[in-house]
């Protein structure tokens, strides 16, 4: 299998309470661009999303933003991405991000980030895709999601094998190193999403 070419990142449309989150978003955007991977994300210029996209663009990276029409104004669409894809709905946005990526990284964020991260994991649980999913732990940010999965396993609602659907890495450098080592299925659609 080939190395990855395109990385989708889910992250907050806010900056969060600690400067460590901003630092992580900058480092990830920069690292993705330097590795010559294409960055795919939600297309906004707010919060960690904007910080990450700007860092990638500053390194001359290719950045694709996928944003639903109704959110264009609300989330202040990023005006300088390499490619902006405007979708009709949130569902087609998620689909658009999915189709263009061959690996996913989840940075700290709010409910939107949680939703996107859980959904991409559940799609893998349903065998709708086999693309790698990396949670980037920044100051314990991945803890609650991992705890929720562990609780589901402990209570008999999920098989222990669900732990293998995603990886948790400590900080951005570890995530970038893992991405570089990955051999992933090529970006592409799944008929059954």
Site residues, ligand AMP (CB under 6 A): 12-14, 42, 44, 71, 75, 90, 109-113, 115-116
* Least gap, CB of 112 to ligand AMP (angstroms): 2
* Between 4 and 66, CB nearer to ligand AMP: 66
Cα 102 to Cα 7: distance, rounded to the nearest angstrom: 6
CA 121 – CA 51 distance, rounded (Å): 25
Specify whether the CB–CB gap between 103 and 129 falls below 8 A.
Answer: no
Smallest Cα–Cα separation from 12: which of 48, 53, 65, 51?
48
Identify whether the C-beta of residue 114 lies closer than 8 Å to the C-beta of residue 145: yes
- Closer to ligand AMP by CB, 146 or 155: give it: 146
Residue closer to ligand AMP (CB basis): 112 or 171? 112
| CA gap 57, 32 in Å, rounded | 10
Strands 63-68 and 6-10: unpaired
User: Residue 31 or 43: which CB sits closer to ligand AMP?
Assistant: 43
Q: Is the CB of 102 or the CB of 116 nearer to ligand AMP?
A: 116
Nearer to ligand AMP, 3 or 95 (CB): 95
Residue entry with tokens 């950045």: 63
Residue nearest to ligand AMP (CB): 112
Could you give the CA distance from residue 139 to residue 162 in angstroms, rounded to a whole number?
24
Q: 140-155 burial string, b = 16+ CB within 10 Å, else e?
A: ebbeebeeebeeeeee
Provide, rounded to whole angstroms, the least separation between the CB of residue 160 and ligand AMP: 28
């Amino acid at each position: 299998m080939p190395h990855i070419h395109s990385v989708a990142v889910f992250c907050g449309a806010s900056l969060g309470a600690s400067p460590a989150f901003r630092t992580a978003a900058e480092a990830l955007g920069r690292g993705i661009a330097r590795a010559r991977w294409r960055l795919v994300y939600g297309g906004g210029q707010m919060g960690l999303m904007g910080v990450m996209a700007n860092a990638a663009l500053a390194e001359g990276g290719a950045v694709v933003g996928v944003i639903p029409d109704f959110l264009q104004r609300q989330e202040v669409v990023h005006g300088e991405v390499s490619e902006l894809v405007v979708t009709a709905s949130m569902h087609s946005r998620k689909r658009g991000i999915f189709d263009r990526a061959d690996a996913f990284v989840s940075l700290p964020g709010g409910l939107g980030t949680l939703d996107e991260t859980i959904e991409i994991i559940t799609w893998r649980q349903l065998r709708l895709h086999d693309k790698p999913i990396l949670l980037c732990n920044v100051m314990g940010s991945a803890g609650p999601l991992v705890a929720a999965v562990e609780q589901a396993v402990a209570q008999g609602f999920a098989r222990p094998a669900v732990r293998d659907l995603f990886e948790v890495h400590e900080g951005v450098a570890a995530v970038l190193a893992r991405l570089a080592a990955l051999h992933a299925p090529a970006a592409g659609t799944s008929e059954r999403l």
